[in-house]
Amino acid sequence: MTMMFKAEAFSPHESLAAELIPHATEGDDGSHDLAHILRVFRSAMRIHAAEGGKAHVLAAAVLLHDCVAVEKNSPLRAQASALAAEKASRILRELGWGDEDIADVAHAVTAHSFSANVPPETLEAKILQDADRLDAIGMVGVARCFYIAARLGSGLYDPFDPAAEDRPLDDKRYAIDHFQTKLFKLADGFQTRTGRELATARDKSLRDFLAAFMDEI
């Protein structure tokens, strides 16, 4: 697969994508790889079509929002988006971007992260946050949850108390605990009307999956 072919998947921002894709990801985390970037881009463009905003800023923020890799269990996890924003700013400055656009991209990148707990203040930041969180719920969210659990060495569930009725939830030990500790909370925090509409359907899929999973075990 050539770089140009990859860039064309990011139409109508393929020229920007060709410049930024080489910087878009680090490491070997399959939940934050180029496929994730592309899914977030498509969701962001879908929301942008309805909500507006500066398309070039949004596209750049999507392409660079995970340009620094920090594992989920790292003590630096809450700083990951700020580190990505710093790197994104350097990259865009080297490409000749203006200070205002760089600042807007940096804010969107910083605010997208759940762990950072930074409120998105611009429309582009709100759209990126929504688009990134859409990838954490629904069926793709289920797949990513179990992928990350396996990557970090977690079990699927507590065989003696899978619903955590008599124990504290612990998503570092059990994958399905992550549904309660984080994933089910995401749908209530969407920033745009279009994002909320998309999240409603995916949140239902997430809850239907867990109900079926619990029934099987």
Nearest to 140 by CA among 39, 217, 46: 39
**Which helix (H) or strand (E) is 99 found in, with range?**
helix 99-111
pLDDT tens per residue across all 217 residues of the chain: 445 568 889 999 999 999 999 998 887 788 889 999 999 999 999 999 999 999 999 999 999 999 887 766 666 667 888 899 999 999 999 999 999 999 999 999 999 987 778 899 999 999 999 999 999 999 999 999 999 999 889 999 999 999 999 999 999 999 999 999 999 999 999 999 999 999 999 999 999 999 999 999 9
| Peptide bond between residue 12 and the one before it cis (omega within 30 degrees of 0) | yes
Per the CB < 8 A criterion, the answer to whether 47 and 130 are in contact is yes
Name the 3-class secondary structure at 204: helix
What backbone torsions phi and psi does residue 206 show, to the nearest 5 degrees? -60, -45
φ and ψ at residue 174, rounded to 5 degrees? -130, 130
Q: Are 110 and 82 in contact (CB under 8 A)?
A: yes
pTM (2 d.p.): 0.91
Please report the domains of the chain, with CATH numbers, ordered by start residue.
1-124 (1.10.3210.50), 136-217 (1.10.3210.50)
